[in-house]
Structure 1
């Protein structure tokens, strides 16, 4: 049904969206609005998605025989805002040539 690469693409997208929501919506609401509820609601799902992203990145890297530099870029992208979107476009899209 879902290939490994498609599963990773979905997790990368969800992880990226959850990170953006956590950083740019929930955290400002917590500190400026004194309302920590949104961080609590988004924190756990983001953490699970982050761990899934890391595990799948390693598995996909082994499957596609990525070199160490590529794997490190893909892993580092998980802690940079919008980084997973870059990875999806650069490393996970099928070649259309």
Structure 2
């Protein structure tokens, strides 16, 4: 259960950094000509994405995830808002484990 809570935190950070990149850094670069946030926000997002993938590998096994759940979770990390849309699946697994 603690492992899924930690994975959800990683997924939240990954989702927030994606939003920061798309909604703050990129508009600043392309609309205002200021690319000062691209490198730090992009690097932070890259590290968060790698942590998300590492978290999938290290934290999800043994928690009732099927192959399709893994695939869905991986694909969610590739799209903006995907980690937020996938969070209910992870939360349901965490809650089911808490009841067991």
| TM bracket (short chain) | 0.7 to 0.9
Q: Report the equivalent of 1:58.
A: 57
Question: Structure 2 matches for 1:21-60, cutoff 5 A?
Answer: 21-60=20-59
Q: How many residues are paired up?
A: 96
Deviations 1:3-59 (A, max 9, x none): 211111111111100001101221111111111111112111111110010111122
Task: Name the stretch that deviates more: 63-72 or 46-55.
Answer: 63-72
- 1:71 deviation in Å? 0.4
User: Does the CA contact (< 8 Å) of 2:8 and 2:90 recur in 1?
Assistant: no
User: Does the CA contact (< 8 Å) of 1:58 and 1:71 recur in 2?
Assistant: no
User: Does the CA contact (< 8 Å) of 1:9 and 1:88 recur in 2?
Assistant: yes
Question: Structure 2 matches for 1:1-97, cutoff 5 A?
Answer: 3-93=2-92, 94-95=95-96
- 1:86 deviation in Å? 1.4
Calculate the aligned-residue CA RMSD, in Å: 2.1
* d(CA) in 2 for partners of 1:9, 1:86: 12
Provide structure 1 residue ranges, at least 5 long, that are not aligned to the other structure: none
* d(CA) in 2 for partners of 1:32, 1:5: 39
**TM, length-normalised to structure 1:** 0.85
* d(CA) in 2 for partners of 1:14, 1:66: 21
* d(CA) in 1 for partners of 2:15, 2:45: 9
